[in-house]
A and B are shown apart, each in its own frame.
Chain A
Amino acid sequence: MRSNRAGSHQAGIGLKLAAAAVLFFLYFPFGVILLYTFTTEDSAYTFPPPGLTLNWFQVAWQRRDLWQALEISLQVASIATGIAIVLGTMAALAVYRSRFFGRETISFVLLLPIALPGIVTGIALRSAIDVLGIPFSIWTIVVGHATFCIVLIYNNVLAGLRRTSRSLTKASMDLGADGLQTFRYITLPTLGTALLAGGMLAFALSFDEVIVTVFTAGQQATLPVWILDQLTRPRQRPVTNVAAVFVIALTFVPILFANWLTRRKL
């Protein structure tokens, strides 16, 4: 009895080692990135680093191209997420609320972009934009990203709608609310979590998307494209590490925020 109880509380040494190994495997690359942010080498990574310096932070700070790439990334991700929230929510409401001819097809067509390989979406968009004679710009990237961002919002909102009981809207109407008031006070707040989760996912996906971006961009480089580009150049390599560390720090904010939100609910 006693050994049994001890066993359920205390993990064996094997399990502990396995857990440590998995965590090491997951987090070791982050450590590498962080370490070589401080290396004194310009183009090659040797272990151990020959010396440590804070110089690269200053270099990064002065690189206009890096800041421009970050700005484009943030712009693209916010606009694409915004478009996706509006269109995805409307599509989900339409598919959930009413039955019409072609309802199943619309559902399928909306979901398709996320199932298609990015390269197919990318080539398709590039040819279409070419044929239509539209100049490549930040807006063509936004359109490319919106194709898969819509799916995330649509899916999340649809799931949210299925979770909330249909009688909630009926109860609201019964208590004296018209359609608009019901949407404002009942439908939107109950979808809040779904929209937040879907929006964050869409933003994150757009922020680090490479393939579709490469195909739909003109001269503009988003941050991931810029980083990829830097890796092929021999000079000032640790600057990419600084950028990566910066992105890691930045992504922590929404994660902590979401964590705080879900905890506050209970």
Chain B
Amino acid sequence: MNSIAPAVELIEVTRHFGDVKALNAVSLTIQQGEFFAMLGPSGSGKTTCLRLIAGFDQPSSGHIRIAGQDATALPPYERDVNTVFQDYALFPHMTLGDNIGYSLMLKKVPKSERLKRVADMLDLVQLSGLEHRKPAQLSGGQRQRVALARALVNQPKMLLLDEPLGALDLKLRQQMQIELKTIQRQLGITFIFVTHDQEEALTMSDRLAVFNQGKIEQMGSPVEVYERPATAFVANFVGVSNWISGQLAQLLTGSAQSFVLRPEKIQMLDPNLPPPADLCSAMGKIKNILYLGMYTRYEIGLQPEGLLSVVEQNRQSSHWAEGDAVRLLWQREHLVMI
């Protein structure tokens, strides 16, 4: 109704299955037109959250509002929300045209208009002219596009995507990531995207929520979540982190307060060169070198103890060897206290 109302609001939503709390008093607001990712390991509650928004499941307690209106108990077919399923769920006995036009057929849209809108959708997902194919005759990537077209043809206010790229190979996945984002911008529809792939969540979303054990650990833009992880879980789940606490923290910063330091924020320097004055530094020895193509990861043993991970882009070929002594440098602002 109200165009300023958030696309979806979850208010203290809990869902438990027996004793297990799949979702524990989660509150969350997603604005209209946002590309929102729900990120977390399996069993973290992200999929439960999506099912509740779609209406496949009802919360044990709490409220769900869609576009400002209470939708807690509405069945899926009365919500202005469509879903792209993990296994695509294309109807195998129907042609692509009938698959995509299914919701229009149910709404009794006249056939000529139905055909036109189906053709428009096929255009959008770059499958023009394949109306008469059956799902079994398509590749995985094409099925994915059909599922997307079918969910979008009805012009929903919100599109839910449940690990939609999980079944695709890497190249196709990267291509679809860009395409999804383009389509979302073009249509201006709210996309809510569930994934366990942190890279995917960072690449695609405007904002993301990191789920763990039925709760949201952190919510924010990809940059915020990556650069300023709020908890040790987020620091470890989103990207690679050095998580340092106790004695080692005391040694490096002079305080026992634990902190996170991303490996790419650390520079390695010849120990014989004088350290720049405004940077923090520590001495260590290279224990392991892992060459990863675009970059190299070094495991540095600190003196007298502790291990730090450092990543360097392979702009030039590396001159470091295992056993080399190194001086590690970083800026104080890159330490994230947790």
Contact = CB atoms under 8 A, between A and B. Distances in A.
Interface of A: 164-165, 167-168, 170-178, 181, 185-186, 189-190, 192
B85 A175 contact: no
Contacts of A178: 75, 77
Contacts of A173: 56, 75-77
Residue picked from B76, B81, B89, B91, most chain A C-beta under 10 Å? B89
A168 B77 contact: no
A174 B102 contact: no
B87 interface: yes
Contact of A190 (B93, B102, B106): B93
B171 interface: no
Nearest to A177: B106
Contact of A186 (B81, B85, B91, B107): B91
A181 B77 CA distance: 11
Interface string B74-104: 0111000111011101011100000000110
A190 B91 CA distance: 8
B87 A174 contact: no
Contact of B77 (A167, A174, A189): A174
B106 A174 contact: no
Interface of B: 54-56, 75-77, 81-83, 85-87, 89, 91-93, 102-103, 106-107, 150-151, 154
Given A174-B54, A175-B82, A175-B154, A167 B75 contact: no
B93 A192 contact: yes
A168 B75 contact: no
A175 B56 contact: no
A59 B199 CA distance: 83
25 contacts: A164-B92, A165-B87, A167-B85, A167-B86, A167-B89, A168-B91, A170-B56, A170-B76, A170-B83, A171-B89, A171-B91, A173-B77, A174-B54, A174-B55, A175-B102, A175-B103, A175-B106, A175-B150, A175-B151, A176-B77, A176-B103, A176-B154, A177-B77, A177-B102, A190-B93
A177 B154 CA distance: 13
Contacts of A181: 106
Given A175-B150, A177-B77, A178-B77, A170 B89 contact: yes
A67 to B, nearest CB: 40
Residue picked from B54, B85, B150, most chain A C-beta under 10 Å? B85
A105 B107 CA distance: 42
B83 to A, nearest CB: 5
Contacts of B150: 171, 175
A160 B89 CA distance: 16
Nearest to A191: B93
Contacts of B54: 174
Given A164-B92, A192-B93, 13 more contacts: A167-B85, A167-B89, A170-B76, A172-B102, A173-B56, A174-B82, A175-B102, A176-B106, A176-B107, A177-B106, A178-B75, A186-B91, A189-B93
Contacts of B82: 174-175
Residue picked from A181, A185, A189, most chain B C-beta under 10 Å? A185
Residue picked from B81, B83, B92, B93, most chain A C-beta under 10 Å? B93
A168 B147 CA distance: 12
Nearest to A189: B93
A193 to B, nearest CB: 9
Contacts of B77: 173-178
Contacts of A185: 102
A165 B107 contact: no
Contacts of B75: 173, 178
Contacts of B151: 174-175
Nearest to A181: B106
B92 A171 contact: no
A159 to B, nearest CB: 15
Contact of A167 (B55, B87, B103, B106): B87
A235 to B, nearest CB: 54
Contacts of B89: 165, 167-168, 170-171
Residue picked from A170, A171, A173, most chain B C-beta under 10 Å? A171
A161 to B, nearest CB: 13
Contacts of B87: 165, 167
B85 A170 contact: yes
A54 to B, nearest CB: 48
Closest 9 CB pairs of A and B: A171-B89, A167-B89, A175-B103, A173-B76, A189-B93, A167-B85, A176-B106, A176-B77, A174-B83
A174 B85 CA distance: 10
B92 A190 contact: yes
Residue picked from A165, A172, A176, A186, most chain B C-beta under 10 Å? A176
A174 B77 CA distance: 5
Contacts of A186: 91
A175 B80 CA distance: 9
A172 B94 CA distance: 13
A170 B300 CA distance: 51
